[in-house]
């Protein structure tokens, strides 16, 4: 970028590392930050620093948390026998906005995408298996995204959890559009997909689903 000062090039380069931000978008963001009030830019920098310093994965489910346990896991009213597996904290928030899931969650923190160098070791799949086999879980709902990577993750997890005593593994119904994203699905779509969830290896709705889950 001839003509841009080194500091501006660095800012554009860092912004360009953000997901979905290309070169032109990074340049627009950089100039927006420079054009606005200095205090606003510093607030953004302070918010990023504070979030990085204060937030951590929940010790139980790997959701983003300001303490050892996230708000869901710390809630004594949640049904710990029903665990919904999602790919990212954003997906967890989508189900929480729906307000109908009374169980708890497990956040994979990634997805299976070998072409992107993302294998099972880059997720919390091993921690999920240990959590389930420890006991106390009766249903695991695989709520991965309805796309190739999400389906691969669900199949992998189903095989990994096979044989866990007293545990039923289910999947969301296909009310979700193939190739879509749970993060952007409407609450009614998610509610229907959850209500009509089915055994991951079978057909039809799940039997013995937890009341209110």
Q: What is the pLDDT of residue 200?
A: 72
Is residue 210 included in any domain, yes or no?
no
Per-residue pLDDT, averaged over 64-73, amounts to 96
Domain boundaries, position 25: 6-54
Residues 39 and 87 in one domain: no
User: What is the rounded CA–CA span in Å between residue 29 and residue 58?
Assistant: 32
Is residue 43 included in any domain, yes or no?
yes
CATH code of residue 149: 3.40.1360.10
**Confidence label for 114 from pLDDT (cuts 50, 70 and 90):** low
Q: Which of 106, 208, 204 is nearest to 160 (CA)?
A: 106
Counted domains in the chain: 2
Is the pTM here over 0.85, yes or no? no
Helix (H, G, I), strand (E, B) or coil at 84: strand
CB 54 within 8 A of CB 44: no
Q: Which of 136, 134, 149, 146 is nearest to 177 (CA)?
A: 146
Tokens encoding 79:
């049904």
Is residue 11 included in any domain, yes or no?
yes
Is residue 48 included in any domain, yes or no?
yes
> How many alpha carbons fall within 13 Å on the CB side of residue 196?
12
Is residue 74 included in any domain, yes or no?
no
Tokens encoding 29:
């963001």
Residues 84 and 161 in one domain: yes
Is residue 209 included in any domain, yes or no?
no
User: What is the rounded CA–CA span in Å between residue 173 and residue 7?
Assistant: 50
Q: What is the pLDDT of residue 195?
A: 64
Query: pLDDT at residue 208 above 90?
Result: no
Query: pLDDT at residue 207 above 50?
Result: no
Kind and range of the H or E run holding 33: helix 23-35
């Amino acid at each position: 970028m001839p003509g841009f000062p080194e500091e501006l090039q660095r800012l554009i380069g860092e912004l360009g590392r953000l997901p979905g931000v290309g070169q032109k978008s990074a340049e627009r963001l950089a100039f927006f930050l420079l054009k606005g009030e200095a205090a606003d830019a510093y607030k953004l920098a302070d918010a990023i620093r504070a979030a990085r310093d204060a937030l951590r994965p929940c010790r139980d489910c790997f959701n983003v948390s300001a303490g050892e346990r996230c708000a869901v896991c710390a809630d004594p009213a949640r049904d710990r026998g029903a665990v919904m597996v999602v790919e990212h904290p954003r997906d967890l928030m989508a189900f929480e906005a729906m307000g109908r899931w009374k169980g708890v969650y497990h956040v994979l923190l990634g997805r299976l995408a070998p072409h992107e160098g993302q294998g099972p070791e880059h997720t919390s799949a091993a921690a999920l298996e240990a959590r389930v086999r420890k006991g106390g879980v009766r249903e695991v709902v695989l709520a991965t995204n309805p796309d190739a990577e999400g389906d691969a993750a669900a199949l992998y997890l189903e095989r990994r959890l096979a044989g866990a005593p007293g545990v039923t593994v289910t999947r969301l119904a296909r009310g979700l559009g193939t190739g879509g994203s749970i993060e952007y699905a409407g609450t009614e779509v998610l509610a229907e997909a959850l209500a009509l969830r089915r055994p991951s290896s079978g057909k039809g709705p799940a039997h013995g689903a937890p009341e209110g889950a």
